């Protein structure tokens, strides 16, 4: 392998840099020659592979963005602190779900894995106004169990002051699941 001669003014580092640069240029030249020798099918396959890898990279990036900003969990984290309606509704749902999980273990109501949606109306002081099934679990026993659990969980905390100024009754529609 021929090397470039060292001229009297060259420093050892400069010479090494020239050697590396010329080696890279020679390698690139060989790659270009090799790519010219590729068959048309090989070139198409190479391009498809590059496109596929680019799509995978973009999809991974998109997933990361979704999980960080737009997933239900991320929206909930951002919204709960900023919106008193959401924060209050979430605290009611959590209280009922915790009691439901504890009572379900004791009562042995058939229907594990079932879910239902309830509409809960609360007065400004946190007392229960009404509870009704919005979407059934397809089991009367589970629906009755869930409504009884809401009644037994009352009273809930009073509405935050800014919500009390807006309304004297709040309706919360939320889904519960039996674990």
User: What pLDDT, on the 0 to 100 scale, is given for residue 41?
Assistant: 75
Is residue 1 domain-resident?
Answer: no
Number of domains in the chain: 2
CB burial string 14-47: b at 16+ within 10 A, e below: eeeeeeeeeeeeeeeeeeeeeeeeeeeeeeeeee
Q: Do 113 and 171 belong together in one domain? A: yes
Give the pLDDT confidence of 15-34 residue by residue, as tens digits.
Answer: 555 555 566 666 656 666 66
Q: Can you tell me the distance from the alpha carbon of 99 to that of 154, in angstroms, rounded to the nearest whole number?
A: 11
- Answer yes or no: is pLDDT of 117 > 90: yes
Is residue 34 domain-resident?
Answer: yes
Per the structure, the complete domain to which residue 42 belongs is given by 12-68
User: What pLDDT, on the 0 to 100 scale, is given for residue 148?
Assistant: 94
Residues forming beta bridges with residue 138, ordered by sequence position = none
| Residue 163 near residue 147, CB atoms below 8 Å | no
Q: Do 58 and 134 belong together in one domain? A: no
Give the pLDDT confidence of 84-106 residue by residue, as tens digits.
Answer: 888 888 899 999 999 988 887 77
Which SS3 state, helix, strand or coil, does residue 5 take?
A: coil
């Amino acid at each position: 392998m021929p090397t470039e001669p060292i001229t009297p003014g060259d420093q050892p580092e400069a010479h090494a840099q020239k050697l590396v640069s010329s080696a890279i240029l020679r390698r690139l030249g060989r790659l270009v020659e090799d790519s010219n020798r590729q068959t048309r099918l090989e070139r198409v396959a190479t391009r498809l592979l590059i496109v596929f890898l680019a799509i995978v990279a973009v999809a991974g990036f998109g997933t990361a963005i979704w999980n960080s900003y737009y997933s239900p969990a991320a929206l909930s984290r951002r919204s709960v602190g900023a919106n008193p309606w959401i924060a209050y509704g979430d605290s009611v749902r959590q209280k009922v779900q915790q009691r439901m999980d504890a009572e379900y273990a004791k009562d042995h109501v058939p229907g594990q894995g079932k879910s239902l949606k309830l509409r809960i109306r609360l007065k400004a002081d946190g007392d229960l106004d009404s509870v009704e099934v919005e979407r059934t679990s397809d089991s009367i026993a589970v629906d009755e169990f869930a409504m009884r659990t809401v009644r037994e969980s009352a009273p809930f905390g009073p509405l935050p002051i800014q919500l009390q100024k807006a309304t004297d009754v709040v309706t919360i529609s939320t889904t519960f699941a039996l674990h």
